[in-house]
A and B are shown apart, each in its own frame.
Chain A
Amino acid sequence: MGEDTSSETRRVEKLLDSVLESADDAERAALETARELGFPEDDQHKIGMAVREAIVNAVVHGNRYNARKKVHLAVASGPDHLAVTIGDEGEGFDLASLPDPLAEHNLLQQSGRGIFLIRAFMDEFEVRRRVPGGTEVRLVKYLDKKQ
């Protein structure tokens, strides 16, 4: 499934440093667009949280806080949706290899819930390789929740 940009009405791109504070910048950018689109407050909270989790993954697991590597953020809106793309310059990861945080034996693990929460809060979640390197995730939320 590729990114369909034909229905985008607005697109903001930012290059962020590999620091945790970048989650604040990204959340702000996503929420500004979400508010403009008219997302209810509860959905705004979910979008903000999903974006923060994805940025933290890019900074911590992707770029490993490497100051020479950047996080690539794009916030795009269409008439009925918000799409946030977050790319890192890391080594990539295998989505299928991530443990299920809801499995009985994983419930008391300290970490491993970030992507689970992104999936729970957004309507679409895609992971793909970036060119020339790294991982890119795309998060989409629809104004009328897609069933």
Chain B
Amino acid sequence: MSAKLSPRQVGDVIVVDVSGRITLGEGSSNLREGIRGLLTQGNKKILLNLGEVSYIDSSGIGELVSGFTSVANQGGQLKLLNLTKRVRDLLQITKLYTVFEVYDEEATAIRSFV
């Protein structure tokens, strides 16, 4: 199943529940279009909940990085929530774990936005 994005508003933060596979093709383009759409609507505080992401490849990692820089370039923040062990491992070996702000609890993540 390609990545599916379900955004919801929590205060002034948009939490995006992402599920499925983020791989080159439909999965990565869904993520790209989803983040682009949120930015177009003026949302600059974005929390990606990746708890239900079953698989991510190098293209998916690239889309996360691209989303991170796009949001930052608009003066916003993109943070990550609920990484599975495999996604966490991938971000660690690619040295991206320290680039992203990563949270295990949604409430803590929401409070971290300024």
Q: A residues touching B (Cβ–Cβ < 8 Å)? A: 20, 23, 45, 49, 52-53, 56, 60, 101-102, 107-111, 113-114, 116-117, 120
Residues from chain A with a CB closer than 8 A to the CB of B66 are 110
Inside 8 A of B90's CB, which chain A residues have their CB? 117
Q: Provide the main secondary structure of the chain B interface.
A: helix
Within the complex, the shortest CB–CB distance from A64 to chain B, in Å, comes to 14
Instruction: Tell me, yes or no, whether B65 is within 8 Å of chain A by CB.
Output: yes
Question: What are the 6 closest A-B residue pairs judged by CB atoms, nearest first?
Answer: A110-B62, A113-B58, A114-B58, A110-B66, A20-B25, A102-B95
Nearest Cβ distance between residue A102 and chain B, in whole angstroms? 5
* Chain B contacts for A20, CB-based, 8 A: 24-25
A and B contact pairs by CB, cutoff 8 A, 18 listed: A20-B25, A49-B57, A52-B57, A56-B59, A101-B94, A102-B95, A107-B95, A107-B99, A108-B65, A108-B68, A110-B66, A111-B58, A111-B62, A113-B61, A113-B94, A116-B94, A117-B58, A117-B94
A108 to B57, CA, bound (A): 16
Since A110-B62, A111-B62 are in contact, a sample of 6 more A-B pairs with Cβ atoms closer than 8 Å, ordered by chain A residue number, is: A23-B23, A52-B57, A101-B94, A107-B99, A108-B68, A111-B59
Q: Does B86 contact A (CB under 8 A)?
A: yes
Q: Mark B45-73, 1 if CB is under 8 A from A, else 0.
A: 00000000000011101110110110000
A120 and B86 contacting across the interface, CB-CB below 8 Å: no
Residues of chain B contacted by A102 (CB below 8 angstroms): 94-95
With the chains together, A117 CA to B57 CA distance in Å? 9
Say yes or no: is B93 at the interface (Cβ < 8 Å to chain A).
yes
B65 touches A53 (CB 8 A): no
